[in-house]
Homo-oligomer: A and B are copies of this chain.
Amino acid sequence: MSERDLVTEVVEFIAEHVLPVDDEHDGDVEAAGGESLRVRLQARARERGLLSPHGPRDLGGLGLGMVDRAPVFEAAGRSLFGAMALNVNAPDEGNVHLLDRVATPGQRERFLRPLVRGDLRSAFAMTEPAPGAGSDPSLLATTATRVSGGWLVNGRKWFITGADGAGFYIIMARTSGELGDPGGATMLLAPADRAGIEVNRHIGTIDRAMLGGHCEVTFTDVMVPDDDVLGEVDEGFRYAQVRLGPARMTHVMRWTGAARRAHEIAIQHVAGRRAFDGRLADLGMVQQLIADSEIDLAATRALLFEACRELDGGGRAARSTSIAKTFAAEALNRVVDRAMQLCGGLGVSSELPVAKVARELRPFRIYDGPSEVHRWAIARRAIQRVGGL
Contact = CB atoms under 8 A, between A and B. Distances in A.
A345 interface: yes
A298 interface: yes
A240 interface: no
Nearest to A364: B348
Nearest to A365: B341
A348 B363 contact: yes
A217 to B, nearest CB: 14
Contacts of A327: 295, 298-299
Contact of A281 (B130, B270, B287, B383): B383
A372 interface: yes
A281 B135 contact: no
A38 to B, nearest CB: 23
Contacts of A222: none
A366 B383 contact: no
Contacts of A135: 275-276, 344
B323 A287 contact: no
A359 interface: yes
A285 interface: yes
A372 to B, nearest CB: 4
A3 interface: no
Interface residues of A, number: 85
Given A286-B284, A376-B284, A345 B127 contact: yes
A159 interface: yes
A298 to B, nearest CB: 5
A270 to B, nearest CB: 7
Tell me which of A136, A320, A374, A378 has the highest count of chain B C-beta atoms within 10 A of its own C-beta.
A378
Contact of A287 (B206, B367, B379): B379
Nearest to A272: B387
B341 A372 contact: yes
A381 B294 CA distance: 10
Given A323-B298, A341-B366, A366-B345, A291 B203 contact: no
Contact of A371 (B284, B306, B341): B341
Contact of A379 (B294, B366, B389): B294
B367 A291 contact: no
A212 to B, nearest CB: 16
Given A139-B275, A387-B270, A389-B271, A204 B378 contact: no
Nearest to A291: B375
Contacts of A306: 298, 301-302, 305
**What 7 pairs across the A-B complex have the smallest Cβ distances?**
A284-B284, A271-B387, A204-B350, A291-B375, A287-B379, A302-B302, A290-B379
